Structure formats: structure tokens, C-alpha cells
Amino acid sequence: MAQPMETVATFDRPAAGAATAAPKRRPVDDDKAMLKAAADLTRDLNVPRPAIYWSDMLASAVLGYGALAAAILAPSMGWTIVAGVVAALALYRAESFIHELTHIKHAAVPGFRLGWNLIVGIPLLTPSFMYEGVHNLHHARTRYGTAEDPEYLPLALMKWWTLPVFILISALAPVALLVRYAILTPLSAVIPSLRRVVVARYSGLQINPSFRRRPPEGPARALWHRLEAGASIYAIALIALTATGVIPLKAFLIFLAVTSGLAVTNQVRTLVAHLWENEGEAMSVTAQYLDSVNVPPPALLPMLWAPVGLRYHALHHLLPGLPYHALGTAHRRITAALDAESVYHKGNYKGLPVLAARLARSTVTRR
């Protein structure tokens, strides 16, 4: 989730031959034994289980909205903060299902895309069209890690200040989304030139500022327009009801704070989802795996900051069609089957602090 909820960042890729660029690394050939083992050991795990998807998403949404209401009604600032943190983490988990929507066959979990959009996507102003048609490009064999990947920046090869800016930008995501749907959507409906800009630059959850999205076609176009219209009506109503006092300003600001915390949590996860060391060349599947990150048990905190299977991000790049609820089983099987020298074990890390420190060390050496 990029991953779900990635926010556009205005960073430039290091120029070819620039002093900041790291020495060229040797291409990594595919480890065919690992790829075959991963596929063979998980063939029986590829079917999504609707009961798990629905129960997990609904429980997360109920907890999140309930905690949001508690934060708004709390008698003191302390309780508001506690309830707000719970709301942000629960709604983050609910929102992370947008990642699953880009990979599962919708017939396998009937009604889930519509239900998710009505319960989570539109209320949080991240309808599924903002990820569907974008995230799949991140998994394209010849696009990953290149300038055509909407979810990749070589952060490890950039200046140190890009990391705090990368995080701070995400805190403004709720306001940016309100502007996108309450102002730009209706204006772009009557201004064709603005519409082209909105579609190309402001209709995807991406971190690569050079990425330009193509207009949707066929059934995707009709779905896009319906979801965008719903999000626009919701955003306009939210602002209007707040402006007229129907929704108290305090409640509106707490909502923005909670969704901002959600976005920052996701951006931190994005920061450690990859090693971000590719300089723009196409990579083998094994190289993509090694540039991605698993944070498996016994670490416990990834359940909060990398929910819905996102803690197995490297494994996901090996088997992108595997449902999130099967990733833990798949990881255990593959780990047990492959010897200690296998490339697979090199994609596993202990936790967020180790990964964040590694990335920070890489950036501080840039000049």
C-alpha cells in the first residue's frame, strides 16, 4: 500500500552521472530455484476467502469510526488523543484493503469493491480508482524501479532532507484530497484542460512526481466517474456542513487530524517497504525481491504499521496474486523449505528501526 495511500512527493530523481549517484551495481539474475519453490509451495493458497476479507474490513471500519466518534466526544484532550490513535490505526487497516482490491479477482469476493468504497474509500476520500490501474504498474516486470514506476523513488540515493520532507508532505494529504474532490473535480468537469491535468497528475496514489496517468477506458472509465462523483459530493457536503455549523469545527478538525495520522503512518511504512536503491534500470524478479522488505514474526509492531499482509512486502513482489491472509503461511513454508543460503532469507528484516536507520545512513552520505 506503493502500497496503499502513497502521497505525491515533489522530489527529483538523481540525474544520470550526478555526484550523488552510487556506483553501478551488477545486475542480479533470477534465482530460478527460489522462484520455483515459492510458486510450488503456495499453489493451494491462491484462493481469497470472502469471510476473512469482509469480517476483517468491517471490524476495522467499525472500530475506526467508533474510536473517531469517541475522540470527538471525549471529555478531555488526553482521551481524545488516545481514541484518535486507535481510530487512525483501525482506519488505516481498513483503508489498506485498497491494496488487495488491485490484486484479487472481484468475482472471488463478490461485492467487496463496492462495499469497501462505500464504507471506507469514499468517506476517507481514497476511492479505489486511485489505486486500481496505478499499483499494477509497480508490479510490471520492466517498470519496477524505473521512471515509469508510479510507486518508486530512489530515496536511498537522494539527499538526507528528502526523508523528513517525504513524511511531512503526507500529513497534508487529507487537505489535498478535500481540494481534489471538492474543488478540482467539479471545476475539471467544465474545463477540459484542467481535467487532463487532474486525470494525469492528481488521480493516483503515487510517490513518483514524474508519473502521468493515462485516461481510463471501457468499464474502468464508468466506474472511475461514479466513484469520483460520489467522493466529490461527499467532500462538498463535508465542507458545507462544517461551514454552516451542522458539523462542529472541533469534530471536523479531529477528523482531519486522524486521517492525517493515518496518512503519516502509511508514509512511514512506505519509507521502509523497499530499500530504494535502484537507479532506474529494469530489474529481474529476484532483484525486485531483494529491493523489497519482509518484516516477519516475531516482530509484533508490524501488525499495526504494516497491516493486511504488508509486512510481507518482498514476498508479495514474488507472488502478487496471493491473498493477504495466506502470506504468513506462505512465508513459513518457503522459509522452512529453502536452506539458510537461499536468497529468500536476505529479504527478511527485524523491524522498522533497523530499516529506517539503514535508509538514513545511506542518505546522509550523499553530497
The answer on pLDDT for 36 being more than 90 is yes
> At residue 16, does pLDDT exceed 60?
no
Instruction: Please check the confidence at residue 150 and state whether its pLDDT lies above 80.
Output: yes
Query: Please, which pLDDT band fits residue 3 given cuts at 50, 70 and 90?
Result: very low
User: How much is the pLDDT for 27?
Assistant: 74
Tell me: pLDDT of 75 over 90: yes
C-alpha cell at 298: 516475531
For the chain, what percent of residues have pLDDT higher than 90? Answer: 81
> Residue 28 has what pLDDT?
83
What's residue 76's pLDDT? 95
Averaged pLDDT, 36-46:
96
pLDDT computed for residue 24 by the predictor: 55
- H/E/C letters for each residue in the chain? CCCCCCCCCCCCCCCCCCCCCCCCCCCCCCCHHHHHHHHHHCHHHCCCCHHHHHHHHHHHHHHHHHHHHHHHHCCCHHHHHHHHHHHHHHHHHHHCHHHHHCCCCHHHCCCHHHHHHHHHHCCCCCCHHHCCCCHHHHCCCCCCCCCCCCCCCCHHHCCCCHHHHHHHHHHCHHHHHHHHHHHHHHHHCCCHHHHHHHHHHCCCCCCCCCCCCCCCCCHHHHHHHHHHHHHHHHHHHHHHHHHCCCCCHHHHHHHHHHHHHHHHHHHHHHHCCECCCCCCCCCCHHHHHHCECECCCCCCCHHHHCCCCCCEHHHHHHCCCCCHHHHHHHHHHHHHHCCCCCHHHHHECCCHHHHHHHHHHHHHCCC
Say yes or no to pLDDT of 12 above 90: no
**Between 16 and 169, the higher pLDDT residue:** 169
> Tens digits of per-residue pLDDT, 111-145?
999 999 999 999 999 999 999 989 999 998 889 99
Q: Which sequence spans correspond to the domains of the chain?
A: 32-364
pLDDT at 25: 59
What is the reported pTM?
0.91
Q: Where do we find the cell 530455484?
A: 33
Residue with the bigger pLDDT between 197 and 5: it is 197
What is the pLDDT averaged over residues 99-103? 95
pLDDT at 9: 39
Mean pLDDT across the chain: 91
Q: What values do phi and psi take at 271, rounded to 5? A: -60, -30
> What pLDDT is attached to residue 29?
83
* pLDDT, mean of residues 89-108: 96
* pLDDT mean over 3-12: 43
In the predicted structure, residue 229 carries a pLDDT above the cut 60: yes
* Range 24-45 average pLDDT: 87
Question: What pLDDT digit, counting tens, does each position of 183-220 carry?
Answer: 999 999 999 999 999 999 999 999 999 999 999 998 89
pLDDT confidence of 4, banded at 50, 70, 90? very low
